[in-house]
Amino acid sequence: MLFYFTGTGNSLYIAKQIEENPLSIPQMIHREPLHYNDDRIGIVSPIYGHELPQMVKDFLQKFIFQSKYFYIILTYGNRHGGAAELTKKFCDDCGIHVDYMNVIQMVDNWLPGFDMDEQKKIDKNVEQQLHNIIADLNVKKSMISPVTENNRAAHQQFLERMNQTVPGLWQHLFRITDNCIGCGICQKVCPSASIRLMERKAVYFSGNCQTCLACVHACPQKAIALTVPEKNPQARYRNGHISLQEIIRANCQFLSA
Ligand SMILES: Cc1cc2nc3c(=O)[nH]c(=O)nc-3n(C[C@H](O)[C@H](O)[C@H](O)COP(=O)(O)O)c2cc1C
């Protein structure tokens, strides 16, 4: 049994390589039972600010997992900042024993930091990293990905920078521009129903937004802009192995959409 969260398909791609039918956290979080029991249970998730997205944290807190082998794979783009250690601590606090945790570097979809056209050109050796992880999982290896003092220092610097940002900035990260044609794709790819079509135009509702950027990356009109500077407002990303329909199936919160 494998659960995943994704905004732009990286984590879904990894999950699909590990198990044939991984389960989407934005869908499963609303369902019963609250209790999962399996020989092997895994989570694949991106890291946001070196930590799990809030919805993945909520999922881990809400559900009970009974398994002989529990593992977490964290996808990241540029700097994991000791994400494995932070995630391990979070799981310990939830009473979840993690047998294996690893990180895998992929395209960084964080638009304020990276130009997607440049990111797509960088070979991050994803297939080799994935091959090693699958080999570990096949023998149920016990390991938490090592974290260095430099990783910890990077996370501390990040926290200090965050302390200086305007409170609530991350819940007001998006602006729908006049380019919106009301196609509704943003509404369908949003895992938290934070963007909805009203009078044939997308409207953003803050509060529960995961800042996964699924809406921004998937908009065919590039009509969703960030309220902070972007490296390249014309460049958008979706993992090359994952279709738009798969992101919609993973995230859509409106059954009739
Ligand atoms: C809000 C946000 C925060 C992010 N923070 C980090 C980070 O701290 N370090 C990093 O290396 N990548 C970071 N990323 C990049 C993603 O973790 C990475 O691109 C991931 O593979 C995306 O997975 P997905 O395609 O399944 O959504 C961030 C992305 C977003 C949207």
CATH code of the domain occupying 169-251: 3.30.70.20
Report the topology of domain 2-161: Rossmann fold (3.40.50)
Pocket test for ligand 1, best of 17, 45, 74, 108 (most atoms within 8 A of CB): 108
48 touches 80 (CB < 8 A):
no
Q: 181-203, pLDDT tens digit by residue?
A: 999 999 999 999 999 999 999 99
C-beta of 109 in contact with ligand 1 (< 6 A): yes
- State residue 68's pLDDT score: 97
The pLDDT value given to residue 257: 46
User: Which residue in this structure is represented by tokens 């959409």?
Assistant: 257
- CATH 3.40.50.360 placement within the chain: 2-161
* Model pLDDT, residue 255: 65
Average pLDDT across each block of 10 residues of the chain; the chain has 257 residues. List them in order: 98 98 97 93 98 98 97 98 98 97 98 98 98 98 98 96 84 92 98 96 94 98 96 98 98 78
Residue ranges, comma separated, of all CATH 3.30.70.20 domains in the chain are 169-251
Indicate whether residue 50 lines ligand 1 (CB < 6 A). yes
Strand duo 64-76 + 174-176: pairing: unpaired
d(CA 45, CA 189): 16
What tens digit of pLDDT does each residue of 56-94 get? 999 999 999 999 999 999 999 999 999 999 999 999 999
Give pTM, 2 decimals.
0.97
